Amino acid sequence: MNIKRYLPNIFTFLNLALGILAIMWIFKENCFVSGLLILLAAVMDRYDGKIARKLNATSEIGKELDSLSDLISFGVAPTLLMWNIALNQFGVVGIIITILYSIAGAYRLARYNVMEFDGVYYGIPITMSGGIVAIISLYLTKYYINIVVLAVIMLLLSYTMITKRIKLKKR
């Protein structure tokens, strides 16, 4: 068994597991732990691709697993976290914002998987967006932010994931 071949996917599965755990902690109404788990998932996501490239263990299935894991950890978990913290107070508008964020994240990941990569990301990565939401959730455990401001932040993050106006070079 060649562990080098599987090591990147182990990091990807840890990312996914941490995203699922983040959702479970939302159900336990511990948003602080959920936010930390999302940030820890971002660390796993940061290294799965680096390890795959370093070990020459990249694969199409690894790319797909990474996107599916990212959708849970940075598309679903953060938006459910914000729903639980504040967006649920916004009624139907909160529901729409919650769904739009996840849809934007899914679209961003799908677009990335099918486009030719020229060293530039269009829109901010879903990992970055989910990390921002997680950091905001940690801030909200101690401080107050107006619900309208939170709604606008979530809409802006949704937009920034899918826009082609933002270009980031891959490091």
% the chain with pLDDT above 90: 80
Question: pLDDT averaged over the chain?
Answer: 94
3-state helix/strand/coil string of the chain? CCHHHHHHHHHHHHHHHHHHHHHHHHHCCCHHHHHHHHHHHHHHHHHHHHHHHHCCCCCHHHHHHHHHHHHHHHHHHHHHHHHHHCHHHHCHHHHHHHHHHHHHHHHHHHHHHHCCCCCEEECCCHHHHHHHHHHHHHHHCCCCCCHHHHHHHHHHHHHHHHCCCCEEECC
In this model, does residue 103 exceed pLDDT 90?
yes
User: Residue 111 has what pLDDT?
Assistant: 93
In this model, does residue 66 exceed pLDDT 80?
yes
In this model, does residue 99 exceed pLDDT 90?
yes
User: Residue 115 has what pLDDT?
Assistant: 84
In this model, does residue 171 exceed pLDDT 70?
no
Structure confidence at residue 1 as a pLDDT band (50, 70, 90): low
**105 token code pair:** 């994240």
Assign a CATH topology to domain 3-169.
Four Helix Bundle (Hemerythrin (Met), subunit A) (1.20.120)
